[in-house]
Amino acid sequence: MRKNLTISAACLINNQGEILLVRKRGTTKFMQPGGKPETGETALQTIIREIREELGIDFTAEQLHFDGEWTGPAANEADTLIHASLYSARYDGALTPLAELEELLWIDPQQALERDDLAPLLRDHVLPLAIARAKA
């Protein structure tokens, strides 16, 4: 039986135009920071909390731009669909992986598309959006 998950995810871009990718402990796919809501949280509240927990960054609601929603296959859970609310922000500073994160990677969005270890949300939606914005 197919499982459904709701998540919030963040597309963070630095001053060099690179996107932040993260890999959670025990997984093989890179994705955006983010995660599942706690009881009663909105999508925006979820991403603010998740960014703080995973990266130690305190964003305000005004610093995050809502980029829309996406539904597709989960990266690390078989037979699971995710419904993702996507937000974006600029960030340029040192980061250390916290919580369940094992690895961080800043990479040019076009170069990222050449990798074979990307979550579907990242590959099919986030990177094309980041590339289109960079060209605009």
Domains observed in the chain: 3-135 (3.90.79.10)
- Contact (CB, 8 A) for 124 and 48: no
Q: Mean pLDDT per 10-residue run, the chain (136 residues)?
A: 90 95 94 96 98 96 96 86 95 91 95 94 91 84
- Contact (CB, 8 A) for 63 and 81: no
Query: What's the confidence (pLDDT) of residue 64?
Result: 97
Strands (DSSP E) along 1-136, which ranges? 3-13, 19-24, 34-35, 65-73, 80-90, 101-107
Query: What's the confidence (pLDDT) of residue 75?
Result: 87
pTM flag (> 0.85): yes
Q: 3-class DSSP state for residue 122?
A: helix
